Amino acid sequence: MNSLVNQYKSLEGPILVIGASGFVGSNLFRHALSVRDDVIGTVFTGQTWRLRNLPAANIAYLNLQDSSSIRSLFHRIRPLTIFNCSSFGSYSFEQDFERIHETNYLTLIQLLEFLSGLEFSAYIHAGSSSEYGLNASGPTERSQLLPNSHYAVSKAAASQAVAYFGKVRKLPAVNMRLYSIYGPYEDSSRLIPTLCERSLRGSLPTFASPEVSRDFIHVDDVASAFALAALRISPAIYGDSFNIGTGVCTTLSTLAKLAQDSFDISSAPSFNTGSGRNWDVENWYANPATAQAAIGWQAQIALADGLRLTRNWWRQYLETEDFNLLTKKSAGIGFRSSISAIIACYRDERAIPIMHARLAEVFQRLAIDYEIIFINDGSPDNSAEIIRAISAQDPNVIGITHSRNFGSQAAFRSGMEIASKQACVLLDGDLQDPPEVIEQFVQKWQAGADVVYGRRIKREMPKPIEMLYRLFYRIFAAMSEFPLPKDAGDFSLIDRTVVWWMLQCQERDSFLRGLRAYVGFKQVPVDYVRPERMFGVSTNNWIKNIGWAKKAIFSFSRMPLHMLTTVGGIAVAGTILLAIVSICIRLVSPDSVPKGITFLSILVMVFGSLTILGIGLLGEYIGKILEETKGRPPFIRRHMIKRGTIEPAPIQSLRLR
């Protein structure tokens, strides 16, 4: 273990672990994070139970299918050592072949192309011994690949991509062909976790055919292989693949006997020759000689010792967890079980500590994984220092300071871009959005809603002003070109999928509650009473409120233009009719024609007013077009606040249309 600690201490940092919520990725992430702080693990979708109780500041969201997400993360972190453990399809129930190839190969090409323009020390790719397919019995790295499943094909293609970028493009990249890994945080549907859990109850699971053999390797040995590959990478091995296994061929009957002896189980094992994955072969074991020669690695943990370590880990872990829920098969733990709270702060220094305390209490009561992101939107008070002090005590707190005040919509967007959890909750920093309502949000989210928004059934303010707010929302909803919820502000819980689509809407002058409705998905309300601001006086006034109304209407409705066209059409028709009537009167009774300038003045004023109104409306739309075409960033981050330190924010990567 000491050698593993020293290996991770010696790696060039920062270290980025892609796919840190998976089995292998979470172990690499935890090993690195246990000895250093400059480690970031990425998540996308699915389970996050493996990352519980880890600092939110070290977890980041990454969508490998989105080039802007890749750019944003890498420009923010600038990693020197990269471990890519992202994968899909290794489980028998993962049958979506399009997603298998998309995740394992196509996104890899995009990532390696991006990396070819960066400076870094090592890229270590988590491949699979499945690449050998039908040729899995002790092959060398030069043996023929005979993949026998979509997963195997995708992994074989990925290894060839690594070879191309390493040998031809000279990227410091290698591929690790991993064998049957076991250890802490493995999916509970797999053989070794099931064996450990059953043994704790004094029995054994049903095994596949007793003659089937595997090469079982402990995840700590795999973690060591990744570290050594990064430490000893050189141009001579760029693009190479390495077999990461023990080289020991263990049949399932031998495994069963070992478990009986190690765990003092008297019951006889049972075997089912029909179980297993369709692409499994009978003898599947490694020849790790090349890894030992090239990077000085060999497995250190014997299977008997590894089983005892793993069983002891499961014994302790299951004191507080349900074994049956620790699997991708389950929609329980890890499915919709983590939240990023994003708080836009401006002149809220007294409210920030209270907001943090109430949010932490809510999330702890929900027993949910969380991070709290405070956005100091150019506040002239002491907000940044207060956020720094809180982050020093609570590693789940992250702070962002903008270079000036860009507005709450830009602040929310800034937080959404770095949020790493499965959903985002947007709150104003003045405590008018009660954190306790989040409990109801989470209930509806976990029940299947994609967006849960707060609906203000009452505001603690003078009745006439409240009526004007209600009137605006109804006018706005009537004018919008798609359904908009009434009396709903920014306070909401938004699933990661919806957040991703909202971030694709590259509007500089955005109105998030409108974008939230625009992207669709399943949206449900939660009623609440909006209290008065706890401290100070609201920075909103009538002028700002009118600006909000204009932003909403001109962003999501062409009704003013339609109305202008209609009024123009009516005016033209009326003018023609008036002209015809005037001519007729002139012919029939010349003396009855209106005389003087009053009639003409009224006509001129009416049409002049309509013209000015029309020009004004057109000007509003043209102004928005001008604002969007400028392409200025919607916000600029000045500082990032993590673990009690304030650091300059990395240069932002602008999302290009």
pLDDT in tens, 576-617: 776 677 777 767 776 665 655 556 666 676 667 677 767 766
Q: Is the peptide bond before 205 cis (omega within 30 degrees of 0)?
A: no
Q: How far apart are CA 344 and CA 350, in angstroms?
A: 14
Angle at 528 between CA 434 and CA 472, to 5 degrees: 110
β-strand pairing of 81-84 with 122-126: parallel
Q: Which CATH class is domain 338-556?
A: alpha beta
The yes-or-no verdict on residue 290 having pLDDT over 50 is yes
The reply to whether 2-325 and 338-556 are identical in fold is no
Contact by Cβ (8 Å): 233, 120:
no
- For 619-644, what is each residue's pLDDT tens digit? 666 766 766 676 678 888 888 888 88
pLDDT of residue 631: 67
Domain boundary assignment for the chain = 2-325, 338-556, 559-630
Confidence of residue 656 (pLDDT cuts 50, 70, 90): very low
- For 531-553, what is each residue's pLDDT tens digit? 776 665 655 555 666 655 556 56
Task: Specify the 3-state DSSP secondary structure of 479.
Answer: helix
Report the percentage of the chain scoring pLDDT > 90.
32
The yes-or-no verdict on residue 335 having pLDDT over 70 is no
Q: What single-letter DSSP state applies at residue 274?
A: T
CB atoms within 10 A of CB 617: 15
- Between the alpha carbon of residue 272 and those of residues 198, 265, 285, 329, 469, the distances in Å are 17, 20, 21, 21, 67
pLDDT of residue 210: 83
Residue 399 identity (one-letter amino acid): G
- Mean pLDDT score of the chain, rounded to an integer? 83
Instruction: Please give the structure tokens belonging to residue 137.
Output: 């019995």
Contact by Cβ (8 Å): 306, 218:
yes
Q: How far apart are CA 653 and CA 73, in angstroms?
A: 9
Residue 100 identity (one-letter amino acid): I
pLDDT of residue 333: 43
Residue 192 identity (one-letter amino acid): I
Confidence of residue 278 (pLDDT cuts 50, 70, 90): low
Q: Please return the burial class of 576, using the count of CB atoms within 10 Å of its CB with bins 0-12, 13-18 and 19+.
A: exposed
Residue with tokens 């995840």: 219
pLDDT of residue 275: 57
Instruction: Specify whether the backbone of 163 is left (phi greater than 0), alpha (psi in -120 to 50) or beta.
Output: alpha
β-strand pairing of 338-345 with 369-376: parallel
- For 66-119, what is each residue's pLDDT tens digit? 787 788 788 878 999 999 999 887 766 677 788 888 888 999 999 999 999 899
pLDDT of residue 331: 47
Give exposure, 38-48, as e/b (b: 16+ Cβ within 10 Å).
bbbbbbbeebb
Q: What pTM was computed for the model? A: 0.69
Looking at residues 400-405, what average pLDDT do you find?
A: 90
The yes-or-no verdict on residue 575 having pLDDT over 60 is yes
Terminal-residue alpha carbon distance, the chain:
49
Q: Give DSSP secondary structure letters for 521-564.
A: S-EEEEEEEEPPPSSS--S--HHHHHHHHHHHHHHH--HHHHHH
Looking at residues 471-500, what average pLDDT do you find?
A: 75
Q: Which stretches of 314-363 are assigned E, i.e. beta strand? A: 338-345
- Between the alpha carbon of residue 560 and those of residues 107, 482, 553, 618, the distances in Å are 44, 15, 9, 9
pLDDT of residue 2: 67
Q: How far apart are CA 657 and CA 655, in angstroms?
A: 7
Looking at 3.20.20.80, 3.40.640.10, 3.20.10.10, 3.40.50.720, the CATH number of the domain 2-325 comes to 3.40.50.720
Q: How far apart are CA 536 and CA 477, in angstroms?
A: 31
Residue with tokens 């693009």: 239
The yes-or-no verdict on residue 652 having pLDDT over 60 is no
